[in-house]
Structure 1
Amino acid sequence: MNDKPNKIFLGQIGAAHGIKGQVRIATHTQDPEAIGSYGPLDTDRPGLTVTLTSVRLQKNVVIAHIKGVSDRNAAEQLNGVSLFVDRHKLPETEDEDDFYHADLIGLEARLESGVVIGKVSAVPNFGAGDLIEIRDPQSGDTYLYPFTKAVVPHVSVADGFLTIVVPLDAEEGEEEPD
């Protein structure tokens, strides 16, 4: 999804809203309306940068005006465009337990015993909550774990690792039929 180095995926433009050029945006920011505070946003369309001039929350999406877009036809042309911001424009986290998902990519994944099981390759969310994807460097296989405090009890971005507690059902494998 984000093949741009040092770019953080903030959201995606959806359908046009109304006839005056507004668009719906599905945001991936903690505060959905914050997407309008980062200034010009890069996109996945070469040469296209957008500036959100007004933003308001409506149910589970943001309704926004984009500078230079004044009618529905122009807004419809932006459907599906992904929005990115440079990592350095994001505020620093205040707590050691707070971090950006992008900061986790590349961290070493260790078991509680200290054994390295791979590196974080992604933090996907398919609708039921965040997952953490660990890639085994020897086999190339990837493993998905729920990204919860129970499964990932310790994250140290500064030290370059996180701890994984493998859930019991993953260790046991499939049950034998009766």
Structure 2
Amino acid sequence: MASQICVARIGAAHGVRGAVKLWTFTEDPLAVKHYGPLMTRDGARQFEVTHVREARDHLVATLKGIATREDAERLNGLELYVAREKLPETDEGEYYHADLIGLAAVSAADEPLGRVIAIHNFGAGDIIEIAPAKGATMLLPFTDAVVPTVDLAGGRVVIELPQEIEGDEAPTLT
């Protein structure tokens, strides 16, 4: 399991007093204020969210020690993490992306298919990305039908590859 989870990314400065735009990757966007100090991936820097408010598609946050627009601008693009144990437990059938990345992907017959390298969501549901030992990565719907088993303790996911994908015929050239 991952020891750190990325919960937010700092965007552009907001105003002149050091506030930043903050995009969160949590179910409740305002929860970032309650996790305690947020840190960079390497743990070298920590940030305490002192004030946060909702904006259109992001939050506007004030971070302790960041008082000027110039300070805020230097943080643009920085990802913020918390220790995994600070996050709430997931419900059955729910997973943190970081817990899935790196798991072995196997077929229902327990044949190796590759490793989970990412979970994406482009707006129409979660997509699991599997990297085989060689060849192109597979992007598959992260549904119960395609991924019937997630075994975190066993370090694997079972993948039921779709037999045929509608509309997957080669185009006819005339």
TM-score by length of 1: 0.81
- The alpha carbon displacement at 1:54 in A equals 1.5
Paired residues, number: 172
Structure 2 residue 92 is the aligned partner of structure 1 residue 81: no
User: Within 5 A, what are the aligned runs for 1:1-178?
Assistant: 6-44=3-41, 47-93=44-90, 95-126=91-122, 129-137=125-133, 139=134, 141-169=136-164, 174-175=169-170, 177=172
After superposition, the Cα gap between the structure-2 partners of 1:50 and 1:108, relative to the gap in structure 1 and judged at 3 Å, is same
Q: In 1, distance between residues paired with 2:165 and 2:106? A: 16
- The alpha carbon displacement at 1:176 in A equals 5.6
Task: Report if aligned partners of 1:131, 1:145 keep a CA contact under 8 Å in 2.
Answer: yes
For structure 1, the residue ranges without an aligned partner over 5 or more in a row are: none
After superposition, the Cα gap between the structure-2 partners of 1:74 and 1:176, relative to the gap in structure 1 and judged at 3 Å, is closer
Q: In 1, distance between residues paired with 2:41 and 2:145? A: 35
2:145 is paired with a residue whose SS is coil
CA offsets per residue over residues 139-177 of structure 1, 9 Å max, x none? 264222122333223322233322222234459964262
For structure 2, the residue ranges without an aligned partner over 5 or more in a row are: none
TM-score by length of 2: 0.83
After superposition, the Cα gap between the structure-2 partners of 1:170 and 1:97, relative to the gap in structure 1 and judged at 3 Å, is same
Task: Report if aligned partners of 1:52, 1:64 keep a CA contact under 8 Å in 2.
Answer: yes
* RMSD value, Cα: 2.6
